[in-house]
Amino acid sequence: MPELPEVETIRRDLKTSLFSREICRVRVYHDDLILGGISRRAFQMKVRGRQIGKTERRAKFLLFPLYSEANLNAPPERLMRVQLRMTGQFALQKTRPNTEDFQHPGVEFLLDDGNTLYYDDIRRLGGFDLLSLEAWCQLETQLGPEPLSSAFSVKVFAEILAPLRAPIKNTLLNQRRVAGVGNIYASEALYKAGIDPHRPAGTLDEGEIRRLRDAIRFILSAALNKSGTTIRNYRALNGHSGSFQNDLQVYGRAGGMCRRCSGTVEQTTQAGRSSFFCPNCQH
């Protein structure tokens, strides 16, 4: 599932090519890819003829500001929000990609430069919705801080964790606590910081909170530098793979040797997701 580094990689790939392009035609292949109770027809009407502003990301969402007039400095008419969930992927080119993993047409946006933005989604758990700026600002306040921004200070992180009794691993997956971290990078950050994923979040001391904050930032930045992690479905734009999977220390390595202590990496289930950790190195 794409997490912050994967979604940010896609944003960086798209932002220049999409900026100021007009959407000339929209084709929606499946109603269930349009979220938020909007009909396919209403979605098409509200998107067609609009110009795309600067592509943004918040947490695991991609945001395309849409303008009805050619003034990209004014507030947008609305935002088109995309969640890729498990298997959403984009291609931007003249003709539909003819690769094996891009065979599930979802939504297509024909642009005024002759390119088409193709959205493909085999499991169709992701999708698009349209939000007013006010509605988005309201939703946005419910998300935790962006971990790579200066807002994610040790002080802020400590205040978030202090009242929580949930395990720290579950807490990191909760987008209301910290935005953009998912299962892979939560496991990796806890290993790097030497913190047991089962620890109640509120029991971490200041030194541990600092170590964990630094580890989250380090791991996300390193993954971003490698265009993310491709284990199964994730692809960056136009089918490119990430390469951070080669750098994973514990995720997916149950039964393997810990690279720090030569003990055994263990796997457990927390909040319905697999956690990977070394019981010798994480306390």
Angle at 104 between CA 56 and CA 243, to 5 degrees: 55
Binding Zn ion (rule: CB under 5 A), the pick from 12, 27, 30, 260 is: 260
Answer yes or no whether residue 264 interacts with Zn ion by CB under 5 A: no
Smallest distance from the beta carbon of 170 to Zn ion, in angstroms? 22
| Distances, alpha carbon 86 to alpha carbons 1, 3, 7, 121, 170, in Å | 5, 10, 12, 8, 19
Joined together, the tokens standing for residue 148 give 């790579």
Least Å from the CB of residue 268 to Zn ion:
15
| Interface region with Zn ion, contact rule CB under 5 A, candidates 29-37, 178-186, 212-220, 256-264 | 256-264
* Helix, strand and coil percent figures for the chain, each rounded to 5: 30, 25, 45
Q: How far is the CB of 280 from Zn ion (least distance, A)?
A: 4
- Closer residue to Zn ion, CB minimum distance, 162 or 261: 261
- Classified as helix, coil or strand, 172 is helix
15 binds Zn ion, rule: CB under 5 A: no
Q: Among 79, 23, 77, which residue's Cα sits nearest to residue 51?
A: 23
CB of 195 to Zn ion, least distance (A): 13
Q: How many residues bind Zn ion (CB under 5 A)?
A: 7
- 8 A C-beta contact, residue 265 and residue 250: yes
Q: Which is nearer to Zn ion, 75 or 263 (CB)?
A: 263
195 contacts Zn ion (rule: CB under 5 A)? no
Q: Does 80 bind Zn ion (CB under 5 A)?
A: no
Please report whether residue 92 would count as binding Zn ion according to CB under 5 A. no
Asked whether the beta carbons of 241 and 230 are under 8 A apart, the reply is yes
Question: CA-to-CA distance for 114 and 162, rounded, in angstroms?
Answer: 53
207 contacts Zn ion (rule: CB under 5 A):
no
By annotation, the residues acting in catalysis are 2-3, 60, 273
Counting contacts by CB under 5 A, is residue 26 touching Zn ion? no
Shortest Å, Cβ 229 to Zn ion: 21
Q: Which stretch binds Zn ion (CB under 5 A): 97-105, 106-114, 222-230, 260-268?
A: 260-268
Task: Indicate if the alpha-carbon torsion angle 78, 20, 125, 175 is positive or negative.
Answer: negative
Do the beta carbons of residue 123 and residue 87 sit within 8 Å? yes
Distance between CA atoms of 176 and 185, rounded to whole angstroms?
16
Asked if 254 is part of the footprint of Zn ion (rule: CB under 5 A), the reply reads: no
Q: Which of 95, 109, 87 is nearest to 29 (CA)?
A: 109
Alpha-carbon distance 178 to 33, whole Å?
26
**Can residue 278 be called a binding residue for Zn ion (CB under 5 A)?**
yes
Taking CB under 5 A as the criterion, the residue among 7, 258, 275, 276 binding Zn ion is 258
Give me the least distance between CB of 249 and Zn ion, in Å please.
Answer: 9
Using the rule CB under 5 A, give the single segment among 3-11, 93-101, 107-115, 250-258 that binds Zn ion. Answer: 250-258
257 scored as a contact of Zn ion (CB under 5 A) = no
Contact between 280 and Zn ion by CB under 5 A: the answer reads yes
- Mention every residue, 6+ apart, whose C-beta is less than 8 A from residue 36: 129, 130, 131
**Candidate residues 137, 159, 263, 271; the one interacting with Zn ion per rule CB under 5 A:** 263
Q: Please give the residue ranges that form the binding site for Zn ion (CB under 5 A).
A: 258, 260-261, 263, 278, 280-281
